Amino acid sequence: MMEKVGEENSEEVKVLEENSEEVKVLEDQIQHLQAEVEALQHHQQDNQKDRTLHCGGHLQDAMWYLCGQKKGGGGAEQVVSRLKEEVEELEEDLKLQTQINSISVKSCSTKTLRSSSRELVQQLCISGRCSELVFHVEFQLSELKEGEEAQRTISDLNVVMDTSDLDLNSFLSGVEETRDLLLLFRTLRTFSDRCDDRRRTFQHFQEKYPSVVSLPGGCRSEVMTLNHPDLPGCVLFIHWSIEVSGGGGVSPKIELQTKIPDEALQLFPSQPVGGAAAAFQSLLRILGAEAAMESVIMAVGLLTND
């Protein structure tokens, strides 16, 4: 009887030992799985840091909510409402900025090239319009954190603009070298304003004197022609170009050019028609562009009784 009991105890001990080994194996597997889960969580956090949106206020709260990590009070409706308010505020601010600086941004995209706790490098592409000038700007923006301060630098600036103006193209090449975005947009605005001044002036004279003034290249061209109805070969050209210096200075250059046959010159025996260009420059300095142009039209007798 004692022998039978001893055998049963032995079998129970053996079973317990086997169960203990299985428990140990399961515990090892659980620890291994916990380590894998922890590693995956760290990896996910690193990816989230790389995709961090640099935003604040209601927009940041909304992103926390959408990620399932509620921060602060308020439910979904309240978060969406606050997000809508912030978007409306941003749209109103963008509208105001567009009215002030005449630059309208059509699209803006950002791509993160490199991200860490100390450095953030992004590729930005901005497309827009300044009056009739359409532009596309690409550049890299690097932000390096030193303590509480952050230093931003621009590199690889590329400006694409459809223009045949040699001075403006030369200026754009210089800006790409200096990477001065503020100078770029300030000069674009000034250049665009001067182009609008020229367009308005040319249109004004064409509407006021349709039988005399013509714009062969359209109202945005650099040349306005003055034709005498009775002298087809007698033509005056007013060439209005806009010069842009390397430093961003914008200034108009208006010149009078003549195309007068010998027969027409005989009609002005007492007037130095050959010196009309120099006389026009004097008028410009005294009267200004619009008054000088109208004075030329009246002085040489181009007007007829319309």
Note the pLDDT tens digit of each residue in 8-24: 556 655 655 666 666 67
* This model's pTM is above 0.75: no
Higher-confidence residue of 4 and 108: namely 108
Is the confidence at residue 282, as pLDDT, over 80?
yes
Is the confidence at residue 5, as pLDDT, over 60?
no
The side-by-side arrangement of strands in the sheet containing 103-115 is: 103-115, 119-130, 133-146, 149-161
Distance CA 275, CA 105 (A): 47
Distance CA 303, CA 306 (A): 8
Q: Are 260 and 249 in contact (CB under 8 A)?
A: no
CA 163 to chain centre: 16
Confidence grade of residue 51 (pLDDT, cut at 50, 70, 90): very low
The per-residue pLDDT of the chain, averaged, comes to: 76
Average of per-residue pLDDT across 60-85? 60
For residue 259, the one-letter residue type is K
Is the confidence at residue 191, as pLDDT, over 60?
yes
Is the confidence at residue 93, as pLDDT, over 60?
yes
- Output the CA torsion 217→218→219→223 (10° steps): 10
Average of per-residue pLDDT across 132-150? 86
Could you tell me the end-to-end alpha-carbon distance of the chain, in angstroms, rounded to an integer? 141
Is the confidence at residue 248, as pLDDT, over 70?
yes
Q: Are 205 and 294 in contact (CB under 8 A)?
A: yes
How many C-beta neighbours within 10 Å does residue 244 have? 23
Longest dimension (CA), the chain: 154
Specify the pLDDT at position 299.
Answer: 67
Give me the percent of the chain exceeding a pLDDT of 70. 65
Higher-confidence residue of 216 and 262: namely 216
For residue 279, the one-letter residue type is A
Higher-confidence residue of 259 and 279: namely 279
Higher-confidence residue of 263 and 171: namely 171
Beta bridge partners of 124: 110, 139
